[in-house]
Amino acid sequence: MTTASADNLLVQAQSLKARLIEIRRHIHRHPELSFEETKTAAYVASILKELGYKTSESFAGTGLIAEIGEGEKTVGIRADMDALPIEEENQNEYCSNNKGVMHACGHDAHITCALGAATLIADAVKKGLLKGRVRFLFQPAEETVNDEGKSGAVMMMDSGATKELSALIALHVFPGIPCGIVGIRSGVFLAACDSFEITILGKGGHGAFPENTVDAVVLASHVVQSLQTVISRRKAAVEPAVLTIGGIRSNTYRSNIVSGEVDLTGTVRYFNKSLSSFFEAEITKSCQIAQTLGGSFKLKYQHDTPALENNPQISETVRLSASRLLGDSNVIDLPVQLGADDFSFYTASVPSCYFVLGVGIEGQPKAIHTADFDINEDALPIGSAILADSALALLNN
């Protein structure tokens, strides 16, 4: 990169560390669920405006677009903003103030790193080092979909967020990777994701007279056992996939009542596109056990996200930026992951790279989507610098 040295960008990012921690903790204290990120977006917009960005607010509902620079070539940086319906169990002074809602997937860190990158890029503009435009996509609703089955990424794209983009990059924090390490994979990286909701219908009644009922709990237990064989006995072992039942809920809960209705919810992850129709058919077959035993069922099967596939050229640019900043030994190759992210919709239409930022806290193992999730905040300047350096490199190549 000829516009600015990677070392300087990392030094600049490190000088912003106190401010980045302040931003991240503010966002962590005030998490908002999918499609409700109004205050988060307003806070982000206020910072971007001070930096000289042109902003488009209430974009795709509760999203935000910000752009800086001039020229035909435009590179994008995406950050997701939504939190999860989890009650935080940490005892930090910056814990969530929104009961039952928590940034348990690190989106507060994603926003912060994007704002750090925005700060570095705004400084490059002042120095005349930006050759093109950089557009920030602060996206709502990565964690779920609306009534039309659309996630935040699809809504952003439908609203024109990716128009004229020549490349798009994003990061995700990984608590299982030490701070100071970055992981990248070219090609297919994350799995496609489908979700399903099943309602098992029986006939309720008194617990003392089960012969007069069709016990939906028993029916559901048979269905669950059958679903657990879809992967092990009905799918070829050479095709990676996972099927998880995430919850079971009966319409009654008392010792002397036979439930007449049970709801189940779950997810399927896979890489081979053909498995989507396979899983829908096999889950339907498993549910038909309820009919055999005298009940019935309803199945809602949702195709949520395709597999995420990183563009080789964009990935190589990000890899080179990370290596310049951190050294080759601190940039690792990642295996495919059965996790999913709606960034996959972007990768299907724009040359993109989605990489991971190590945020592990030494001696404190953490996992995303858990009530005690947290990050090593030393990673915030690193993520900021890699995003900024990659964007500048992509504009110059």
Q: Which residues are catalytic?
A: 82, 142
Element (H, E) at 264: strand 261-270
Task: Identify the CA nearest to 323 among candidates 6, 2, 4.
Answer: 6
Task: Identify the CA nearest to 352 among candidates 143, 169, 164.
Answer: 169
Q: What is the DSSP letter of 331?
A: E
Cβ neighbours around 278 below 10 Å, total? 18
Cβ atoms of residues 198 and 299 within 8 Å = yes
> How far is 388 from 162, CA to CA, in rounded Å?
18
In the chain, count H helices and then E strands.
10, 16
Bridge partner list, 201: 261, 296
Cβ atoms of residues 257 and 202 within 8 Å = no
Cβ neighbours around 238 below 10 Å, total? 6
Local structure of 329: helix, strand or coil: helix
Cβ atoms of residues 75 and 167 within 8 Å = yes
Measured torsion, CA atoms of residues 389, 392, 396, 397, in degrees rounded to the nearest 10: 50
| Residue for token pair 């040295």 | 5
Give one word for 180, left, alpha or beta, with left for phi > 0 and alpha for psi -120 to 50: left
Amino acid at 71: G
